[in-house]
Amino acid sequence: MKKQIIAILVALMLITSFSLAAMLSTSADNTNYLSVTVYGWDTLHEHYDVDAEIYEHFPFIVKVEYWNGEYDEPVENATVRFYGETKYTDKSGKITIDAPEVDSLDESKRFKLTVSKEGFSDCSKYVNVYSARWSQTVEEYVWNETEDGWERAWSSLFQPRIYENMTFMLRVERDGYNFNCRGVPVENASVTFLNETKYTNENGEVTFIAPVIPVRKKEFKVVSIVEDTEKIDYDERYETYTTYICVYKRQTTEPGLVKHFTRTDSEGYTTKFDITGETWKVEWDYSTSSDYPYFAYHLLDEHGDIIHGISSRDADYDSHGVVYLKGTGEDFYFQVWDANLWSWSIDVYQEVYPDEE
């Protein structure tokens, strides 16, 4: 009798164990686990990427999925909580969140993100948000009547310049200091030029009028101050940016021949000449009876930089060429190379236009 009772108890224990194991197995099999993927904004290629770092104030995407036995299926209406904010995923299982601000003294900070959905196991993930440090730039622009728009002004030759009495525009922008982001306009920055202070519009722009100057060109200081300076980062996090713009004097111009060259010094250089006209022409020719002639020149500016150059091995009796240029300046000169020529010449004209000839 005792053996029968023991056998019955053992059987009951086995049945209970098998039932419990089956219940646990069934429970495990029926549990759906959420997976969460975070995509940062790739500022260089302008798209969201799983490998892109997440910077404060920039948006990032959270995608919620689960494995349905065949593929990762998006989970709609999942609850996502992050930094005190609650959002719900769309049909694609995604939501977009703006990354919170990180203390300016920290390089980055971790924030907890939790995801829940009825019928699924809750999921948590930590998101690493980096401090976005910025630098400030100020660029100058002049109005292009032909294009009916602003174009960048430069101090170099043959580029748009700021002339006296001309209205010009300054654009204040931020560039990423520790990440790739360029040309973000700064609104309400104070910009001071010749003791006059103005504030930039929503496009980071402000206009001034260049003064009349007694010399050919003169530099003037521009100071830009951005009020929201916590993330303006230089070596010492300056909030003030100083630059200099160059204003040029408009010259009165006599059209016609400026210089005629037929020879150079022992090193191949011509004498120097000035151009006061906006448009000018370089006309060259040479004569030869050789089958192997050679003629070449470089046009150089006052700094010795090459502005333009040609080379010719044309064996015609008389060879000729014309080049039209734009810009003003002083102390231009040519460097000339020649071989097997009877003669050569270079003529420089100003205020001569192709459609007028």
- When the pLDDT of each residue in the chain is averaged and rounded to a whole number, the result is 84
Locate the domains of the chain by residue range. Answer: 32-130, 134-248, 256-356
Question: Which CATH superfamily groups domain 32-130?
Answer: Immunoglobulins (2.60.40.10)
- Per the CB < 8 A criterion, the answer to whether 198 and 138 are in contact is no
pLDDT over 50 (residue 330): yes
CA 50 to chain CA centroid, nearest Å: 23
* Spatial CA neighbour of 211 closest among 170, 169, 247, 171: 247
- Per the CB < 8 A criterion, the answer to whether 146 and 232 are in contact is no
pLDDT over 90 (residue 233): no
Q: How confident is the model at residue 353 (pLDDT cuts 50, 70, 90)?
A: low
- Per the CB < 8 A criterion, the answer to whether 321 and 283 are in contact is yes
pLDDT at 354: 65
pLDDT in tens, 146-161: 778 898 887 555 567 8
The amino acid at residue 178 is N
Q: What's the pTM?
A: 0.50
Question: Is domain 134-248 in CATH 2.70.70, yes or no?
Answer: no
pLDDT over 90 (residue 256): no
Are 32-130 and 256-356 in the same CATH fold? no
pLDDT in tens, 118-173: 999 999 999 999 987 777 889 999 988 777 889 888 755 556 789 899 999 999 99
If you classify domain 256-356 with CATH, what class do you get?
mainly beta
List all residues 6 or more positions away from 173 whose beta carbon is below 8 Å from its beta carbon: 136, 137, 138, 139, 182, 183, 184, 185, 186, 204
